[in-house]
Structure formats: C-alpha cells, structure tokens
Amino acid sequence: MNPIVRKALGVLAGLGVAIGVIFGVEGLNGVLFPLPPGTDLSNPEAMKAVLAGLPTMALIVVLIGWALGSVLGGWVATAVGGRTRGPATVLGAILFLGALYNLYTIPHPAWFWVPGLLVWLPGVKLGEKLGTGG
C-alpha cells in the first residue's frame, strides 16, 4: 500500500477511535451527571449556566475521556499508519483544533482551558510510543 495512503488511513482510523472513546466517556458522564431536563444544547447562555452548575468531577471525567481518546487514537493511528510517527502527530493537531473550537463555542470554566488544550499532544504521543513499541 502507498505509504501516504496508509498514513492517511491511520489518521482517519485514529480519529474514529478517539471520537468514539470521547463520546462514550462523555455519554457515561451524562448518566453520572445528567443535564437539567429541557436544556437547549444549542444555546450558549444555557450551556454556560449548565456548565457553571456542574460539579468539578463532571469536567474531570470529560478530561479523562479526552486523554483516553487521545492515547487510544494515537495508538491506532500509529498502528494503522505503518508504525511511523507522523499519523499520531497529525491526529494530535486535529484533536487540538477540535478542542479549541469546542472551548471557544461552549463557554467552559476558565480553569478547564489549560488542561483541555494540553491533554492532546502528550496523549497521542503516548499512544504513538505504545504503537511503535518504544
């Protein structure tokens, strides 16, 4: 298989795994810390009020999901991408940009921004290390 195609497939596979893990953990979080009935997820002011009322543990669970998704996504990107370092790095950049968009559009608490942006690259790099066996 063409190495560029293989690396691109690695990024896509890693992205799929990362998103699946993140959605799974955030879904579990919704069971542990349900949103008030009738919450309009498309209303930024409503989301700001909901996030302000959530316990800190709910946001920590989100960070755990983001970290787990980045590690597993990085591992899959590396394994599918030919056990090279590039696919996980590209995946990390994509996940970072997605998190930045999420943080910008949904008003999170100020403390959440730093770990919410710093979790991605170390996570995919750990996944990459696991995927390359070294």
Q: List, for residues 53-111, the tens digit of each pLDDT value.
A: 889 999 999 999 999 999 999 999 999 998 888 999 999 999 999 999 999 988 888 99
103 and 36 Cβ atoms separated by less than 8 Å: no
User: What band does 50 get if pLDDT is binned at 50, 70 and 90?
Assistant: confident
96 and 120 Cβ atoms separated by less than 8 Å: yes
User: What band does 51 get if pLDDT is binned at 50, 70 and 90?
Assistant: confident
Q: Give me 93's structure tokens.
A: 């950049």
Angstrom distances, CA of residue 83 to CA of 6, 10, 116, 129, 131: 10, 9, 27, 9, 6
Report how far residue 12's alpha carbon sits from residue 17's, in angstroms, rounded to the nearest whole number: 9
What does the pLDDT read at residue 77? 97
pTM of the model: 0.91
What does the pLDDT read at residue 40? 85
What is the identity of the amino acid at 19?
I
Q: Give me 50's structure tokens.
A: 């909901």
Average pLDDT value for the chain: 93
First to last CA, the chain: 24
Report how far residue 74's alpha carbon sits from residue 10's, in angstroms, rounded to the nearest whole number: 9
121 and 69 Cβ atoms separated by less than 8 Å: no
Report how far residue 76's alpha carbon sits from residue 98's, in angstroms, rounded to the nearest whole number: 19
